[in-house]
């Protein structure tokens, strides 16, 4: 009996890991490329095919922002497992520190999984808490945030490319 169990154990373990990953992918929108499953071999839903759209809400309205480098790990988690909790955690982090208005940047962001604002929009830059606002720059108070997680989809039959919103969350501000 023990010998049979020893022979069956690796197969049972692989099945358990696969079931665990399928449940997480189905219930938490987790990328099939993460979580130890085998879905990565059957889908293009890699973390690199997912992106975030982030806004901070100021007294003047919402402004689309890039995820600051300090929050890249939170952004990666929000892209990979886009639950409301993960998106809100990132949003609350964006409320910390100081946001200052910068001249419009005509070039896209550094490819960190967030979409850069358009050149015609206000461009805000995040500074860590306690940082003094540089002379000549205007601080923008943050009233809240809105975060959306999206993924690229490739049509199975016609190979068309589209995007699908996975989740969104908003925070109330400080």
**Domain parsing of the chain, residue ranges:** 2-41, 47-171
77 DSSP 8-state letter: H
Specify the pLDDT at position 20: 62
Give CA–CA dist 20/98, Å, rounded.
40
The tens digit of pLDDT for each residue in 94-129 reads: 999 899 997 654 454 554 444 444 545 678 999 999
Percent with pLDDT over 90 in the chain: 45
Give CA–CA dist 93/81, Å, rounded.
17
Whether residue 50 contacts residue 81, with contact meaning beta carbons closer than 8 Å, is answered with no
* Dmax (CA) of the chain: 77
Specify the pLDDT at position 7: 75
Give CA–CA dist 79/147, Å, rounded.
11
Give CA–CA dist 117/63, Å, rounded.
8
Q: Where are the beta strands (DSSP E) in the chain?
A: 50-58, 61-65, 98-102, 123-127, 138-140, 144-154, 161-171
Percent with pLDDT over 70 in the chain: 66
**Statement: residue 63 has pLDDT above 70:** yes
∠ Cα 30 27 94 (to 5°) = 55
31 pLDDT tier (thresholds 50, 70, 90):
low
Average pLDDT over residues 69-83: 94
More confident residue, 110 or 158: 158
Please provide the size of the chain in residues: 174
More confident residue, 101 or 159: 101
| Average pLDDT of every residue of the chain | 79
């Amino acid at each position: 009996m023990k010998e049979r169990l020893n022979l069956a154990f690796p197969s049972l373990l692989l099945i358990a890991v696969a079931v665990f990953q399928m449940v997480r992918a189905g219930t938490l929108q987790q990328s099939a490329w993460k979580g130890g499953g085998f879905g990565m071999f059957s889908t293009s839903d890699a973390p690199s095919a997912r992106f975030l759209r982030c806004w901070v809400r100021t007294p003047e309205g919402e402004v689309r922002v890039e995820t600051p480098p300090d929050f890249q790990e939170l952004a990666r988690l929000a892209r990979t497992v886009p639950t409301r909790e993960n998106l809100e955690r990132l949003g609350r982090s964006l409320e910390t520190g100081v946001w200052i208005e910068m001249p419009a940047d005509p070039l896209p962001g550094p490819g960190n999984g967030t979409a850069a604002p358009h050149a015609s929009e206000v461009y805000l830059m995040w500074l860590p808490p306690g940082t003094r606002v540089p002379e000549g720059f205007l601080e923008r108070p943050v009233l809240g945030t809105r975060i959306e997680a999206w993924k690229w989809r490739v049509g199975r039959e016609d190979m068309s490319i589209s995007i699908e919103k996975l989740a969104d969350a908003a925070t109330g501000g400080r």
